[in-house]
A and B are shown apart, each in its own frame.
Chain A
């Protein structure tokens, strides 16, 4: 993304970055939502990076110097969040689980971005029979229950369970197949719209090749909505991963920690009143998805001038209540706190 020289002076790169620029033009409630989202997502990413330092034990550790871990021990003492029926430390597995989730998000979204964008650009630009077939196929996949599709694909790839990278890739690939039609649709629609724009026409007149037009002129314009789709799909990826794990098609506990798998094992514990094995991984899922969704939703709202709240010009005395002033995101963050536990 080198800055062209002919355009009027722009703001520094930092303020043009997706989330930062949105934060700058947000106000009041929307700003609060965005901040809560960014904080939660940031925590999630930091936890995943520093998991080896944060987690008291390994994700598949069953004993330490003083002997094996007790099973189904209540939170407190040596095991801050208790232990599972298999004797794993709940806190460690929750922390390590973030690493699995981040890896799956990155792999799956990267793959679906690449495939979806490429297919969307080609299909939208060239049209014809290829376009028609791709549209029908994408629509068919789009209408199908995503989890079901993910299950089928994860069986095909890993036949159930597997090693860390095997499991990661089978989950990520299942999620990819689900997402590609979505990216494809959006990019194709944008490409078709852009194809009729004068600047594409003039590029053609100047003799630019199709590849150059697609790569240079259409690609940049058609992919503006991608940060939004990325955040929304990242949260969906986590839910699909957890769903697969919950049904037993995830990653084995000895290969990696996975929240959905832990919830599956915790299901049997609930009837005897053991809550800590399920509640903590569940909260981890909810907070992560919540954070990513809040970021995505806010970006979506802020991109739409009809929905975007506007900064009030000066503090007019007639303004009713002032939580709308940009400096105090108090209102939304209190609601967030009220709703989180």
Chain B
């Protein structure tokens, strides 16, 4: 761990001049440093989760405690190795993680990795849909708010943004379901697709698991319609949560850039106010959005758990709640650790993209 931390410190003195003279030389180094920073993050979370889960006791007692006679239970605990010292178990667990073994669930005896591959695509699909909604709502509204700063549209949109934040996903989901599914009957109440479509989807060769992508690839447009109509409400519920954040971010940044000299110069040359916002002030304001998008991934995963439960969307979050209710802590631990890795890797990718776009980020 010490080596990881010392690298960025050693950098400025020795390497900075070199990277300046070579131009793009800093990026490769930045990527390497940033990559190694993933390790302590994941390591700390794994350690934290492991010891927290062991505080409760061994997973087998938790899952099957009341149902098995004590001697059978003791035998099972012994077989699984949970009667050994915690530290031994911890290092064994770390070793398993490195080889990609995240454990086997207690309740249905499936490898955690398999759970991820089965249900991960659904969560990914939900997140992508929600991100589309968030960007489609957040960016234009943010631009409008910035353009009409401190006037009625701005006041209204800012209020809307706070409302987006203040409404829990499950409540907006409940309202959407109530209005559009139950009263208006426009969209189905829950699930990812109707049973027939699900069957068609599972019959496909090499499915990506993202239903709308699979439907387009196989050219099945009735299935596509079905999938999209199921996806609309969950995507809106989860997307609005992030849309509020994007709206405020775009607004603040565009207002910031609108005060810059080059905008003033454009204005004095007679560039229209609309064009100034959409062409000149808009692009630099997008860089922070990409950075924040990385932080939003964590928020979205949390939101996805709630959204999936609300809409019975059978993804990782939904599955996690099932395992939690079944007290299957091996499964919970595995999924949580996997999610930690996903969050860390996504943040890494986002940071690299931000560095590619804006060279000032590379230090």
B163 engages A286 (CB within 8 Å) = yes
B347 engages A143 (CB within 8 Å) = yes
B343 engages A139 (CB within 8 Å) = no
Q: Which segment of B15-23, B72-80, B111-119, B294-302 sits at the interface?
A: B294-302
6 tightest A-B CB contacts, nearest first: A147-B302, A282-B171, A289-B166, A145-B302, A140-B44, A290-B166
Give min CB distance, A317 to chain B, whole Å: 20
Nearest residue in B to A336 (C-beta to C-beta)? B159
- Contact mask A263-277 → B, CB, 8 Å, 1/0? 110110011110100
A309 engages B150 (CB within 8 Å) = yes
Task: Name 7 extra pairs, CB < 8 A, besides A144-B45, A331-B152.
Answer: A145-B299, A146-B298, A147-B305, A248-B325, A260-B168, A270-B178, A282-B175
Q: Does B332 contact A (CB under 8 A)?
A: yes
Q: Which segment of A61-69, A195-203, A239-247 sits at the interface?
A: A239-247
Q: Which segment of B52-60, B96-104, B206-214, B265-273 sits at the interface?
A: B52-60
A28→B152 CA distance, assembly (Å) = 12
Interface residue count on the A side (C-beta < 8 Å): 55
Q: Which of B170, B171, B302 contacts A148 (CB 8 A)?
A: B302
With A132-B5, A159-B56, A239-B168 given, is the CB distance from A247 to B174 under 8 Å? no
Q: Does A39 contact B (CB under 8 A)?
A: no
Q: Does A332 contact B (CB under 8 A)?
A: yes
B45 engages A331 (CB within 8 Å) = no
Give min CB distance, B163 to chain A, whole Å: 6
Interface residue count on the B side (C-beta < 8 Å): 57
B41 engages A145 (CB within 8 Å) = no
B150 engages A137 (CB within 8 Å) = no
Q: A132 contacts which chain B residues (CB < 8 A)?
A: 5
A286→B163 CA distance, assembly (Å) = 8
Nearest residue in A to B179 (C-beta to C-beta)? A275
With A145-B299, A273-B183, A286-B171 given, is the CB distance from A137 to B44 under 8 Å? yes
Q: A136 contacts which chain B residues (CB < 8 A)?
A: 1, 5, 40-41, 44
Q: Does B339 contact A (CB under 8 A)?
A: yes
* Residue of A153, A247, A273 with most chain B CB atoms under a 10 A cut-off: A247
Q: Does A152 contact B (CB under 8 A)?
A: yes
B152 engages A335 (CB within 8 Å) = yes
Q: Does A285 contact B (CB under 8 A)?
A: yes
Q: Does B310 contact A (CB under 8 A)?
A: yes
A294 engages B152 (CB within 8 Å) = no
Give min CB distance, A270 to chain B, whole Å: 5
Give min CB distance, B240 to chain A, whole Å: 12
B343 engages A235 (CB within 8 Å) = no
Q: Does A278 contact B (CB under 8 A)?
A: yes
A309→B183 CA distance, assembly (Å) = 44
Q: List 8 A-B contacts (CB under 8 A).
A: A136-B5, A156-B55, A246-B168, A279-B175, A285-B167, A285-B168, A309-B150, A332-B155
A152 engages B183 (CB within 8 Å) = no
B306 engages A147 (CB within 8 Å) = yes
Nearest residue in B to A290 (C-beta to C-beta)? B166
* Residue of A155, A249, A293, A309 with most chain B CB atoms under a 10 A cut-off: A155
Q: A151 contacts which chain B residues (CB < 8 A)?
A: 324
Q: Which chain A residues have a beta carbon within 8 Å of chain B's beta carbons?
A: 28-29, 132, 136-137, 139-141, 143-148, 151-153, 155-156, 159, 235, 239, 242-243, 246-249, 260, 263-264, 266-267, 270-273, 275, 278-279, 282, 285-286, 289-290, 293-294, 297, 309, 331-332, 335-336, 338-339
B44 engages A335 (CB within 8 Å) = no
A266→B306 CA distance, assembly (Å) = 14
Give min CB distance, B174 to chain A, whole Å: 5
Enumerate B120-159 residues with CB–CB distance to A below 8 Å. Answer: 150, 152, 155-156, 159
Q: Which of B170, B181, B299 contacts A263 (CB 8 A)?
A: B170
Enumerate B308-363 residues with CB–CB distance to A below 8 Å. Answer: 309-310, 321, 324-325, 329, 332, 336, 339-340, 343-344, 347
Q: Which chain B residues have a beta carbon within 8 Å of chain A's beta carbons?
A: 1, 5, 40-42, 44-45, 48-49, 52-53, 55-56, 62, 150, 152, 155-156, 159-160, 162-163, 165-168, 170-171, 174-175, 177-178, 181-183, 189, 295, 298-299, 301-303, 305-306, 309-310, 321, 324-325, 329, 332, 336, 339-340, 343-344, 347
Nearest residue in A to B42 (C-beta to C-beta)? A140
Nearest residue in B to A283 (C-beta to C-beta)? B171
Q: B168 contacts which chain A residues (CB < 8 A)?
A: 239, 242-243, 246, 260, 263, 282, 285-286
Give min CB distance, A249 to chain B, whole Å: 8
Q: B163 contacts which chain A residues (CB < 8 A)?
A: 286, 290, 339
A140 engages B40 (CB within 8 Å) = yes
Give min CB distance, B97 to chain A, whole Å: 16
Nearest residue in B to A157 (C-beta to C-beta)? B55
Q: A144 contacts which chain B residues (CB < 8 A)?
A: 45, 298, 340, 343
B298 engages A145 (CB within 8 Å) = yes
With A248-B325, A263-B170, A267-B310 given, is the CB distance from A143 to B41 under 8 Å? yes
Q: Which of A146, A152, A270 contacts B174 (CB 8 A)?
A: A270
* Residue of A279, A286, A293 with most chain B CB atoms under a 10 A cut-off: A286
Q: B324 contacts which chain A residues (CB < 8 A)?
A: 151, 155, 247-249
Q: A247 contacts which chain B residues (CB < 8 A)?
A: 305-306, 309, 321, 324
A264→B173 CA distance, assembly (Å) = 12
Q: Which of B44, B160, B182, B332 contacts A339 (CB 8 A)?
A: B160
A144→B342 CA distance, assembly (Å) = 10
Nearest residue in A to B44 (C-beta to C-beta)? A140
Give min CB distance, A308 to chain B, whole Å: 11
Q: B165 contacts which chain A residues (CB < 8 A)?
A: 289, 293
A331 engages B155 (CB within 8 Å) = yes
B156 engages A335 (CB within 8 Å) = yes
